[in-house]
Amino acid sequence: MIFLSKPAIALSCLFATLSIAAQPAAQPARRTLVRAGHLLDVRTGKLLDAQTIVVVGDTIQSVAPTAQVAAQPGDSVVDLGAMAALPGLIDVHTHLTMNPDFDPYREVTSTDAKEAINGVVNARATLLAGITSVRNVGASGYVDVDLRDAVNSGQVAGPHMLVSGPLIGITGGHCDDNLLPFRYHAVGDGVADGIAAVQHMVRQNIKYGADLIKICATGGVLSKGDDPQASQFTLEEMQAIVADAHRLGRKVAAHAHGAQGILWATEAGVDSIEHGSYINDEAIAEMKKRGTYLVPTLYLEDWMVENGHLPPYSHQKMIDVSAVAKNNIRHAIQAGVKIAMGTDAAVYPHGLNAHELDVYVNQMGMSPLAALQTATLNAADLMGWSAKTGTLEPGKWADIIAVDKNPLDDIRILQDVKFVMKGGVVYKNEAK
């Protein structure tokens, strides 16, 4: 033990006091003033004139009439002119690590490294299109986990992300690798059969970083050898999946085209039904009772008609699904099922996400405000992020986009976003 003399102790205290005094005083956080000619309240549809959004760090500090917000020394000012500002859009069904190339050879020769490169490119394209938050619902090798982390660290430009990791599905189902013959023993990363196996897969996905669980409750369109109307997991398997996921704090999204699979997944307690092409009255009633979200992915059908070149095993399935899906989804919307915007971007090029809202308004009969709410309030609720995003309010992320006019007058204006701020950082500014 070392003993100090009283003079030494006094001198030590003096140096400590001087050191503290020499520290610079904490500087107030720098403000960014986003001055908008108009601001759209997505809760009410009211368009407010001449508003200033005060951003500090990655968060909105206040929203007030511009006349009441004077610039202070050190402020940064972003002048949006006459443009209309609104919250960044949210897409709850994306595949950022995939591209719309349906050549089977490309599929079997893909690698995690190639998908990671895709993800970097597509995350940026998605953000610049005004999509500031996404759920990524399916990626091999946990590539989307790494992409999310790279975005969060600032290494890669992209939206806020919730990610699922590998899709969980049955042997030979929509989420399996079905193109190669038996001798190669190719199996999808998330394939599991039986209650014990699906519980293990849920826990494994969470172990390696998944924010949510994505399952394939029915067959799909782009996969080989399965039927979109056929159920894949049993009700008991899906109940086990949901029980484990919810207990461990994760929501569950269910790919489901067929009516029985939609019903079973809803009864099992999933949080959202993705696609819902063959939804019927029984499934609609159950979804309404439980508050389950429906995530239509409808624009891809229009894009496919004009641009799609599918292999033979998918072509007829796309025709069959497209023939019924819109009428069934329209019925579900009219019946009052909750809707959140999802696009399945990757089935068509990333960055075209807002075309989905055009379909909701001009083909499904939604009001422009209701359609916009599917990509803001409703999507934020489904993601569990209502306290973080979905509206321009103090305390939420500074995720702000701007367009040339009120999107409630023409929802298609959201296909041409001029300004994008995410988390207080400006990624795009074409203000005149």
The per-residue pLDDT for 372 is 98
In a domain, 224, yes or no: yes
Structure tokens at 220: 């799909």
In a domain, 13, yes or no: no
Number of structural domains the chain divides into? 2
Give the Å distances, CA to CA, from 88 to 128, 130, 160, 397. Answer: 10, 6, 11, 10
- The pLDDT-based confidence of 21 (bands split at 50, 70, 90) is very low
Instruction: Judge if 407 and 263 occupy the same domain.
Output: no
Instruction: Judge if 322 and 203 occupy the same domain.
Output: yes
Supply the mean pLDDT for the chain: 93
The per-residue pLDDT for 16 is 47
Instruction: Judge if 261 and 353 occupy the same domain.
Output: yes
The per-residue pLDDT for 186 is 84
Q: Is a pLDDT exceeding 60 seen at residue 424?
A: yes
Per-residue pLDDT reduced to its tens digit, 60-75: 999 999 999 999 999 9
- The pLDDT-based confidence of 156 (bands split at 50, 70, 90) is very high
Strands 84-87 and 76-79: unpaired
Instruction: Judge if 316 and 347 occupy the same domain.
Output: yes
In a domain, 10, yes or no: no
In a domain, 60, yes or no: yes
Instruction: Judge if 276 and 342 occupy the same domain.
Output: yes
Q: Is a pLDDT exceeding 50 seen at residue 11?
A: no
Residue listed under structure tokens 């699904």: 321
Instruction: Judge if 310 and 398 occupy the same domain.
Output: no
- CATH number of the domain that residue 374 is part of: 3.20.20.140
Instruction: Judge if 80 and 97 occupy the same domain.
Output: no
Q: What is the mean pLDDT of the segment spanning 259-280?
A: 98
The per-residue pLDDT for 153 is 97
In a domain, 2, yes or no: no
Per-residue pLDDT reduced to its tens digit, 248-263: 999 999 999 999 999 9
Structure tokens at 120: 């970097």
The per-residue pLDDT for 15 is 44
Per-residue pLDDT reduced to its tens digit, 22-61: 555 556 679 999 999 999 999 999 999 999 999 999 999 9
The per-residue pLDDT for 315 is 86
Instruction: Judge if 240 and 305 occupy the same domain.
Output: yes
Question: In this prediction, what percent of the chain has a pLDDT beyond 90?
Answer: 80
Instruction: Judge if 74 and 175 occupy the same domain.
Output: no
Q: Is a pLDDT exceeding 50 seen at residue 17?
A: no
Cβ contact 266:292 at 8 Å: yes
In a domain, 15, yes or no: no
The per-residue pLDDT for 2 is 46
Q: Is a pLDDT exceeding 60 seen at residue 351?
A: yes
Q: Is a pLDDT exceeding 60 seen at residue 167?
A: yes
Instruction: Judge if 137 and 147 occupy the same domain.
Output: yes
- CATH number of the domain that residue 58 is part of: 2.30.40.10
The per-residue pLDDT for 274 is 98
Determine whether 214 is an active site residue. Answer: yes
Q: Is a pLDDT exceeding 50 seen at residue 353?
A: yes
- The pLDDT-based confidence of 176 (bands split at 50, 70, 90) is confident
Residue listed under structure tokens 């999107």: 407
- The pLDDT-based confidence of 3 (bands split at 50, 70, 90) is very low
The per-residue pLDDT for 12 is 52
What lies within 8 Å, CB to CB, of 210 at 6+ separation is 142, 145, 163, 164, 165, 250
In a domain, 370, yes or no: yes
Instruction: Judge if 74 and 207 occupy the same domain.
Output: no
Q: Which of 146, 176, 189, 344 is catalytic?
A: 344
Q: What is the span of the domain harbouring residue 95?
A: 89-383
In a domain, 123, yes or no: yes
Instruction: Judge if 400 and 362 occupy the same domain.
Output: no
Q: Which of 211, 214, 317, 418 is catalytic?
A: 214
The per-residue pLDDT for 18 is 43
